[in-house]
């Protein structure tokens, strides 16, 4: 599931055992297609939520 927040950030929500490079590339593709710069992959399948957060940047923030 994807959420777009304030037309600036994409949140990709998952509940999986392990985040793979394919999941990270999927988020990066969404960022490129929308022209947005910042995205977060939130995996609710991790034991601790802080371990399930991955930040992805399309290009440079600025």
Q: Tell me how many domains the chain contains.
A: 1
For 1-44, what is each residue's pLDDT tens digit? 888 999 899 999 999 999 999 999 999 999 999 999 999 999 99
Positive or negative: CA dihedral 21, 11, 30, 61: negative
CA distance 29 to 56: 11
Q: Is the pLDDT of residue 60 over 90?
A: no
CA distance 51 to 6: 25
- Residue 62: inside a domain, yes or no? no
> What pLDDT score was predicted for residue 29?
96
> What pLDDT score was predicted for residue 62?
73
- Residue 37: inside a domain, yes or no? yes
Three-state SS for 24? helix
Task: Print the domain residue range for 48.
Answer: 2-57
- Residue 6: inside a domain, yes or no? yes
- Predicted confidence band at 46 (pLDDT cuts at 50, 70, 90)? very high
């Amino acid at each position: 599931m994807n959420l777009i927040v304030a037309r600036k950030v994409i949140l990709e929500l998952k509940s999986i055992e392990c985040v793979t490079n394919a999941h990270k590339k999927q988020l990066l593709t969404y960022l490129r297609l929308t022209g947005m710069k910042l995205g977060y992959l939130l995996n609710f399948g991790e034991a601790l939520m802080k371990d399930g957060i991955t930040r992805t940047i399309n290009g440079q923030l600025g």
